[in-house]
Amino acid sequence: MLAGDLPRLIHAAHRGKPTFVIRNARVINVFTNEIVETNVAISGDTIIGVGSSNKFSCENEYNAHGAYLAPGFIDGHVHIESSMVTPASFAQVILPKGTTTIIADPHEIANVAGAEGLKAIFSLAEDLPLDVKFMLPSCVPATPFEHSGATLTARDLAKFMDEPNVLGLGEVMDYSSVVSGAEDMIFKLQCFFDRPIDGHAPMLSGRALNAYCLAGPRTDHECSNFPELKEKLRNGMVILIRMGSAANGVDEMFDGIVSEGLPTDRICFCTDDKHLENIRSEGHINHIINAAISRGIRPLDAIRMATLNTATAFGLRRVGAIAPGYRANLVLFDDLHTIEPKAVFANGKLIDPNATIPSPPVPDSVKNSVHAAPIGPDDLKLKAKAFMPMIQTVPHQLVTRLVSGNVPTDENGYFVAKDGLNKLAVIERHHATGHIGIGVVEGMHVKGGAIAATVAHDSHNIVVVGDNDADMCFAAETLKACGGGFTVVSNGEVKALLELPVAGLMSDAPVETVLQKQRELLEAAHALGTDDACDPLVLLSFLALPVIPEARLTDCGLFDVTSMSFLYRNDL
């Protein structure tokens, strides 16, 4: 709805005719937490009336036959690039699941291509049935402890503040710079002080959390347990409970909310990063709603958490509810306790779940983005240290543990992958600097090959894990040759490959092609021994992100996130 539409819509609501009516629905009112059997009248993309007593006359009608009608669901924090498809294809997958609005942080493509990346993702998200709002990426690069493809300063971001769908400042991951008062970070926070600012503060507590909240971030999607959630709520933060492809473990938080009777009006939902195959099989925001209900959250509260709460947190005035003046984004379903959408309406139009949503052409500025220096097996040798520090993965979590121990070596004292330990390498791929970080990881269980990706949050260098240097080098060179993506190799042979030519992050191939390639990758990765209960591709892609505790590997070396310091560097 535009301001110029107001006279027409007022007339349609008072005396005129709607363009579309949904009859005989059990409408979920998120303002009063009640269910009302009624009709909903729509004109264009806007709801103009709700009520069974209103005499809505319309030739274009949809009979809900008593099904529940809820506002369209909102994903409070998501990176479209992590779906590995363009915005149009992403919309094609999540709309049938009931998600009609997303709040996207494009820091993935910005870390590769800077301002040109932002322009590209804005253009690719235009004119979609999915309502895409953006938060400008605050941390490009994510930290000063790695090398990314670009840098965005506060002045760079200010140029995009007035873009139509920009809401505010994206997740402030570099919490160390916030609490230490780093000049450029403070400048960014000041620029967006009166607009929504997303937080990212895993395990931050006490006085550091006080300073962080005072600085402006008002949401957090990194809680990993109930005490952390409760402390952040007490500090005035809005909590986004996240369920993506790798970040789960939310049962404790739901259980705590129920057992202590916490109000849920400042709790929302997000996926952050979730692969298309998982969305197709499990659902999207509806999957989180169902998880909440299964742990004792009342259904209407869970639906409000997925709709009005999120809209309120981000200042969205026309989405998140079913009432006059709100956008006609609606979800119809039969079971209040297990939400499986049977019909979805976006901007007043019924979504065809089998239809292809056309995408604008991909700008040349975000193609051909892999520029890594050549590497050979000798470049990946890692001299073992006494009681060597290493990364230990945590099942179903993005957090890791920093552990130390003796590692197996060859006769020359170099690390050899075995006994549950793999070699991990991060190779700078933006400017051919030759920087390579090398470390040891426990929990990936790769045997007889290697897995590599140019999706390596957030600087998106090449990350590769394996049990032999030859396959690790081959995997990295395979991605360099195809312009980026994911690959699984074994004995010098490519077992699976998903090419991601858009910034090394996304594919412009049809959704079904991408899904098939993802399935082949997962099957090939599991054939090398990775855990069937998790997504090793998502897990691998986060092992280079030095803002999630406790240990990460960047292209500079092994990093202790807790102390914000290197345990050792390979780039010196």
pLDDT in tens, 170-215: 999 888 889 998 888 999 999 999 999 999 998 899 999 999 999 9
Tally of residues, the chain: 572
List the pLDDT tens digit at each of the 572 positions of the chain: 666 688 888 888 887 889 999 999 999 999 999 999 999 999 999 999 998 666 677 778 999 999 999 999 999 999 999 899 999 999 999 999 999 999 999 999 999 999 999 999 999 999 999 999 999 999 898 778 899 999 999 999 999 999 999 999 999 988 888 999 888 899 999 999 999 999 999 889 999 999 999 999 999 999 989 999 999 999 999 999 999 765 556 999 999 999 999 999 999 999 998 888 889 999 999 999 999 999 999 999 999 999 999 999 999 999 999 999 999 999 999 999 999 999 999 999 999 999 999 999 999 999 999 999 999 989 999 999 888 999 999 987 888 999 999 999 999 999 999 999 999 999 999 999 999 999 999 999 999 999 999 999 989 999 999 999 999 999 999 999 999 999 999 999 999 999 999 999 999 999 999 999 999 999 999 999 998 877 899 899 999 999 888 999 999 999 999 898 999 998 75
Q: Which of 82, 106, 201 is nearest to 157 (CA)?
A: 106
Coil/strand/helix, residue 123: helix
Under 8 Å between Cβ of 12 and 18: yes
DSSP state of 262: -
CA 139, CA 170: separation in Å to the nearest integer? Answer: 8
DSSP 222-233: ---SHHHHHHHH
How far apart CA 241 and CA 235 sit, in angstroms, is 16
Q: Report the percent of the chain where pLDDT is more than 90.
A: 83
Which tokens sit at 462? 């090449």
Q: Which residues contact 332 (CB under 8 A, 6 or more apart)?
A: 22, 25, 64, 67, 68, 69, 341, 342, 343, 344, 345
Q: What is the CATH number of domain 73-304?
A: 3.20.20.140
* Cross-strand pairs, 439: 424
What's this model's pTM, rounded to 2 decimal places? 0.90
**Is residue 550 reached through a cis peptide bond, with omega within 30 degrees of 0 on the bond before it?**
yes
Burial of 60 (0-12, 13-18, 19+ CB in 10 A): exposed
pLDDT of residue 53: 60
Beta-bridge mates of residue 571: none
338: Cβ contacts below 8 Å, ≥ 6 apart: 290, 293
Comparing CA positions, the residue from 572, 358, 357, 377 lying closest to residue 471 is: 377
Q: Which helix (H) or strand (E) element contains residue 12?
A: helix 6-14
Quote the tokens at residue 246. 């790798």
Domain ranges of the chain: 73-304, 367-569
Of the candidates 176, 163, 162, 216, which has an alpha carbon nearest to the alpha carbon of residue 192? Answer: 216
Q: How many CB atoms lie within 10 A of CB 554?
A: 30
Both tokens of 385, joined, read 């240290």
The kind and range of the H/E element at 563 are: none
Q: Residue 22 has which token pair?
A: 């949904």
